[in-house]
Chains A and B, each alone.
Chain A
Amino acid sequence: MNFAALLKSELRKVVFARSTWWLLIGAIAFASLSTAVMPLVLDSTRSLVDGNAMPGPLMDPNMVDAIFGKASAGYYFAMILGAMLLAGEFAKGTAIATFLAAPRRASVLAAKIVMAALIGLGVQIISAAIASVVGLIVLTGYEHADPHPSAFADLTLTACISGIVMALIGLAVGALIRNQTAAIVSLLAWMFLIDPILTVVLGSLQNEGSKFLFTSLIAGMMDLHVGDTATRNPLATMEFFSPLISVLLLVCYAAVLVGSALVTSLRRDID
């Protein structure tokens, strides 16, 4: 079986599906909103001394960098798209046609891994680029410092890595659970409910384990930089691993999940 042919087939599935485009729009909207509200929120924290406004947080270049860092927030949607790549096939019943056309399951799964990475990359590049433009437009309404010269390169790096890693995690969870709704609900419940609760609980116990949680690693990864202007994210409320360690741990999580998904998918019958 020609691997390029499988990739072409996977690409057609993604491009033809309306859900892909809706989720891309969702990623753009979410990332843009996350970026756009930050100047408003930060500017509202300016304090008045003797009736004169003090220089606000927007005059801090690190804070402006952090605002643009929010433009990479669309990775949740990359994760959902990843989950739908295989779980969606079982939900719609198309898995049978897929594995009849390409009975060597390892090849199909390899094509899906590549496609998940490409989708994650594409969603994040597009949503981060548009959100950055939105951020620039919103900032024009405020007095603000210029971002560091490397801010957009940092953002691109963060967006690309988070998109790839989260789409792969989504794919793996979708392959393990197979039920599309259950997979997506599980992923979102983990990201928005269980992980934050564990972070609070472990944090209150002064336990360093919270650093290993997904949201902490993602937050740690947000400090990725390509220039020499690295500073800790001023919006961070707790200690995280260094960006490199955070990325490596996220990649390890993705690798373990994808490996488990591969093993189980190769063994299970196709329904």
Chain B
Amino acid sequence: MATNTQDAATLGSAGAASAISFNHLTKRFKNQLAVNDLTVEVATGRITGLIGPNGAGKSTALRCLLGLATPTTGETRILGSHYSQLANPMSRIGAVLDSRAFNPGLTARQNLLVLTAAAGIADSRVAEVLAQVDLAEAANKRVKGFSLGMKQRLSLAGALLANPEVLILDEPANGLDPIGIAWLRGFLRELAVEGRTILVSSHQLAELEHTIDDVIILHKGSLIAAGPKAEITNGSSLEEAFLALTAAAEAQAAEAKAATEAKAANAANQEGTK
């Protein structure tokens, strides 16, 4: 699929069902427009990168998707429903929004047991997911002693507790060292091979380059491109494509602003001559 600005964009192969959709999503915080009329769909069974610089609106869009923030206008759907309307969302959707989302005074195991209780998941899954993210030996250590990388792994373990079909990860590579990033890349690939849909946001493009199938690019809250990575990059690197697209968007915005100002000045002049 070619780049798309504001029209509905469905990623992945033609006809693929969408697991996630943003429909004219706008989120405003007082005077700040965080997400501007975002309309895009994420195809089932693929890894989609939601990329953009800090402040592009990635996290806000994901928070609206997961019911943590209320959209100003528009709506989001995940597996056909609003997140809050799913009977037991953790059983179908795993999410990592913040690596600090665990009580530092509790052990890794205790933090996950809180989640298994809330979602009605068997406690035996805790040991399984901790082993899956290579944290089995740290199961009974308090989270406050964890490195950032260990916290990220624990967050992933929390998201995987119910073996969900959809994963939503917000900046999962933040703070990871090169070994951690390589581990994450392989880990996401393993999950995708199992047929899961993964939506992963990041501003670190090099880390996503070899991981994602599709890409959604946000800039200053607006969608500036969406489609299969190969089409978006067109032979260049993801970073080069991103820089070119954001520069084009900036130029377009500057042109639009100049045109608006000229129109306003023209109108003022006409008022003056009258």
Contact = CB atoms under 8 A, between A and B. Distances in A.
Contact of A98 (B67, B100, B118): B118
Contact of A96 (B68, B83, B84, B110): B68
A100 B115 CA distance: 10
Given A19-B105, A94-B102, A103-B83, A13 B114 contact: yes
B158 A97 contact: yes
A99 B114 contact: no
A102 B102 CA distance: 16
Contacts of A99: 67-68
Contact of A94 (B68, B86, B101): B101
B103 A13 contact: yes
A93 interface: yes
A2 B103 contact: no
B90 A101 contact: yes
A17 to B, nearest CB: 6
Interface in B133-170: 158
A102 B117 CA distance: 11
B14 interface: no
Interface residues of A, number: 28
Contacts of A8: 117-118
A2 B119 CA distance: 8
Nearest to B67: A103
A11 B116 CA distance: 13
Contacts of B98: 93, 96
Contact of A12 (B66, B90, B110): B110
Majority DSSP secondary structure for residues of B touching A:
loop
B87 A1 contact: yes
Contacts of B100: 92-93
B114 A17 contact: no
A25 to B, nearest CB: 16
A269 B70 contact: yes
A35 to B, nearest CB: 31
Interface in B191-233: none
A13 B110 CA distance: 8
A240 to B, nearest CB: 40
A100 B89 CA distance: 8
Nearest to B110: A16
A5 B95 contact: no
A11 B117 CA distance: 9
Nearest to A94: B103
6 tightest A-B CB contacts, nearest first: A9-B118, A9-B117, A103-B84, A101-B118, A269-B69, A93-B100
14 contacts: A1-B87, A1-B88, A5-B120, A12-B110, A12-B113, A13-B103, A92-B102, A92-B104, A93-B98, A94-B103, A96-B68, A96-B101, A97-B114, A103-B84
Given A9-B117, A16-B110, A103-B66, 12 more contacts: A5-B117, A5-B118, A16-B113, A92-B105, A93-B100, A97-B101, A100-B89, A101-B115, A269-B68, A269-B69, A269-B70, A270-B69
Interface of B: 63, 66-70, 83-84, 86-90, 95, 97-98, 100-106, 110, 113-115, 117-120, 158
